[in-house]
Each structure stands twice: as structure tokens, then as C-alpha cells.
Amino acid sequence: MTMLRRPFFWVIALAIAAFALLPLHGNDVELRESLALAAIYITLASNLNLMLGYAGYVNFGSIVFFGLGGYICIWLVDAHQAPLAVSLLAAGIGVSALALIFGFGILRLRGPFFALSTIGIVEGVQAFVQNFTPWGGAAGIYISPQVFQPLGGPARALWVIYFLLVAVMGLSLYLSYGIKISKFGLGLLAIGQNEDAAAVLGVPTPRYKALLYSASAFLPAVAGGLYFFKSAFIQPSDAFDLSLSTEAIVICMLGGQGTVSGVALGAFLYDELRSYLLTSEYFSNFQLVIAGALLLIIVLFFPSGLMGFLYSRFPRLQRVLE
């Protein structure tokens, strides 16, 4: 109930409503696809922000959650004819459970050692999936268009999947906000400031970090299931594309790590920039180069991101935007 009394709760609700309603005006399919990709970026960046912005752990392996969620969902739909809802729930729970188990081990590492280990996890999981025959190995998994029939056929299914992606995006924002204003969130922020001091003050740091790592896996796994179900195809190189993790970090830094609205704004702006670069005659091959340069500029000149800049110019914004 505390969240309901805060203005930012309703700001998130308005953003969700805008995503849901805008493509319906004129049945704008192009806008729908653009906003669907933005919703995925917001989901990935918001959940990465739980580790990066709150606890101070740079996770280059967040794409593992997205990819494994996609594989579990597609495999259940294809091999076992499971309903989409069941497959998505299984993907989220399964990936979260794995994250919790591995979190107790990997989160003993700190700083650059943790960051490098997460890159190793991406490579290790991708190598495993490429050689895992039930998941199609390196060739991946194709699903028949018939799986869309329970959703009303392919055309209607695309709208259903879009609204589900918007719902997942909204849940990601509320999860990030809810954690931030909770006692759990205060413990995480203490860990991000000084982990040893937090432990001395009584914060159960190993448990908090493992729970956060697990929580940050659930919704990206569901989003991965929706994304690859929509594509009707999944393969290791797409599911575990390390550049997507890098882009999520750029988004967090761009919007302002540790903020909810900043990460969402950064994701939306980055998606627009990415769309322009990919369709540009001159810059289409330099997308990641520009992303890296953007990250360098932010770190050097705007370390608090867009929201930090806005807060410094308009302090009253902090009463409305978190």
C-alpha cells in the first residue's frame, strides 16, 4: 500500500498504459514492433539495474537469463506442446532457481573478478547449448506456425505477445521500484556503498545478493520466452549475444544507474538511437562502436546519467521520479 501512495507508482502506470494503447490507434504495426523492442530493453536494463545500480555488481552475463528463458519456453512448446503460459512460468522459475544456486557461489567474487566471471558464464552456457541435442544443438529450434493457433492465429498472436511484453516491462519497473523503497533495498544500497561495512552492520550480504541475483533473472527469462516464441526460432548465437548485455549496461549508465525512471528513459532513448543507426546508410556498421563511445562519454562526463543531470537542474523532480 505504501507504493500506491507515492506519485511514481502512477507514473509507471501511465507509461504502461501509453505502451499498451498507442499501437492500437490505427492498428499501427510498425509502432507496435518498435515499442515491443523498447519494452524488452526496459525489462533487461531494469533487472540488470538491480545488480548494477543497487548492489554495485557489474553483470555482463545478464543475457544468460534471457537466452535460457527462451530455450526453456521454446523447448516446452515444441517438444511437449505445453501452453505458452505454462512454458513462460516454467522458464522464469527454472532460470531463477539456477540463478539462486549459482549466485551463492559466483557472488563471492567482487569487482572485476565478478564481471569477468559473468562473461565466462555466457561463453560456457552457449558452448553447452550448442552441444545439447534436445535443444537442437548449434542449429537451434524451429517451432511450427501451428503453435500460434491457440492464440487466435499468427496475426492475433503478435498482439497478444506484445501486450504480454508490456506487462513484463511493467512488472520489471514495479519490481525495481518496490525493491528500492523496501528494507531489502536499503540493505542492497548499503552493499553497493561498502559491502564490508554493511556486513558489520548486520546486513546478511551473501543471502541478499543471491536473492537479488535470482530476482533479476525471472522477468528477463519470461521476456526471452516471449521474444523467441514470437520469432518461432531460437539458436545459441542469438540467445546468448553478449553485445545485448553490454547494451543493457550502456542503458543503465545512460539513464542513471540506481534509478527506476532513468533506466526506463535510457532504454527508450537507446532503442530509438539503435533503430536510427541500424537503418542509417553511413552508421549501420558502427552501432556497437558508437555504444562504446557513448558509455565512455557518460562515465567521464555524466557519471550519474540523464536523471542525475535532470535532478541537479530540477530538484523537485525527485519528488515525482525515482
Please tell me the distance from the alpha carbon of residue 101 to that of residue 270, in angstroms, as a whole number: 33
Number of Cβ atoms within 10 Å of the Cβ of 204: 12
Query: Is the Cβ–Cβ distance between 65 and 95 less than 8 Å?
Result: yes
Question: For residue 20, which of 170, 151, 153, 148 has the smallest C-alpha distance?
Answer: 170
* Segment 21-33, tens digit of pLDDT: 999 887 778 889 9
Average pLDDT, the chain: 87
* Segment 150-207, tens digit of pLDDT: 888 888 899 999 999 999 999 999 999 999 988 998 999 999 888 989 998 888 999 9
Adjacent-strand bridge partners of 142 = 233
Number of Cβ atoms within 10 Å of the Cβ of 316: 8
| Interacting residues of 117 by C-beta distance below 8 A, sequence separation 6+ | 106, 109
Q: Which helix (H) or strand (E) holds 121?
A: helix 111-130
At 20 the pLDDT is: 92
Please tell me the distance from the alpha carbon of residue 32 to that of residue 226, in angstroms, as a whole number: 15
Adjacent-strand bridge partners of 141 = 234
Query: Is the Cβ–Cβ distance between 7 and 320 less than 8 Å?
Result: yes
* Segment 38-51, tens digit of pLDDT: 999 999 999 999 99
Output the CA torsion sign for 168, 124, 251, 159: negative
Question: For residue 267, which of 89, 25, 64, 15 has the smallest C-alpha distance?
Answer: 15
Please tell me the distance from the alpha carbon of residue 209 to that of residue 187, in angstroms, as a whole number: 10
At 80 the pLDDT is: 86
Number of Cβ atoms within 10 Å of the Cβ of 307: 25
At 39 the pLDDT is: 94
Given a cut of 60, whether residue 58 has pLDDT beyond it is: yes
Residue 175, CB half-sphere, CA atoms under 13 Å: how many? 24
Does the reported pTM lie above 0.75?
A: yes
At 279 the pLDDT is: 73
* Segment 211-267, tens digit of pLDDT: 999 999 999 999 999 999 998 899 998 899 888 888 888 888 888 888 898 888 888
| Interacting residues of 183 by C-beta distance below 8 A, sequence separation 6+ | none
Query: What's the burial of 128, exposed, middle or buried (CB within 10 Å: 0-12/13-18/19+)?
Result: exposed
Angstrom distances, CA of residue 177 to CA of 166, 189, 218: 17, 13, 16
At 126 the pLDDT is: 93
At 269 the pLDDT is: 84
* Segment 95-130, tens digit of pLDDT: 999 999 988 888 888 888 898 899 989 999 999 999
At 278 the pLDDT is: 72
DSSP at 132 = -
| Interacting residues of 87 by C-beta distance below 8 A, sequence separation 6+ | 72, 73, 74, 76, 77, 225, 229
